[in-house]
Amino acid sequence: MTSLIRISEVNKLDKEQFEWMFENVVELCTDAAAKVQKKRPFKNVEDLCNAFHEYLENLSIEEKLVILKLHPDLAGRLAAQGELTRESTAEQKSAGLNDLTEEQRHTINTSNERYKSKFGFPFIICARENKVQSIINGLQQRYNSTREQEIATGINEVKKICKLRITDIVKDD
């Protein structure tokens, strides 16, 4: 995807335009864009990404859990029903999650349910940086983590997703 807007233009957007443009860089979390837009002007794309990352980092544990719970299961029910956000659809497709074998689908769905039962939120991994087998491996390996470790890892994966989504929208001047 080609970047649509320059950072200098981002700094000139009115509040509503900014919030609309960045409403889903953190999955289904419009509050992130509302808070980050107040930190303008941004020097460059990295500065903008850092503002979103700082927003995520400064959330309480309860707020981080809300962010994690907003993410869909990988190759889950929403994907099967075509109800993912545009961004999640493209990301899951780039990882090959729309072309799973029945065995892979069963493994991912079973592992997702096991993971959610243990941690209370979906398994999150930056799909654009992974393929099917590394996602399956991640699901199985990260199951052995503590809840605190998984909250931190999940938020770090959200940051990776966020940065990629921002760079799909904005480029430096």
**How does 131-169 read in b/e, with b if 16+ C-beta sit within 10 Å?**
ebeebbebbeebeebeeeebbebbbebbbbbbbbbbbbb
Give the list of residues 6+ apart from residue 98 with CB closer than 8 angstroms, or none.
Answer: 75, 79, 92
Q: Name the residues annotated as catalytic.
A: 71
Which residue, among 125, 51, 37, has the nearest Cα to 88 in the 3D structure? 125
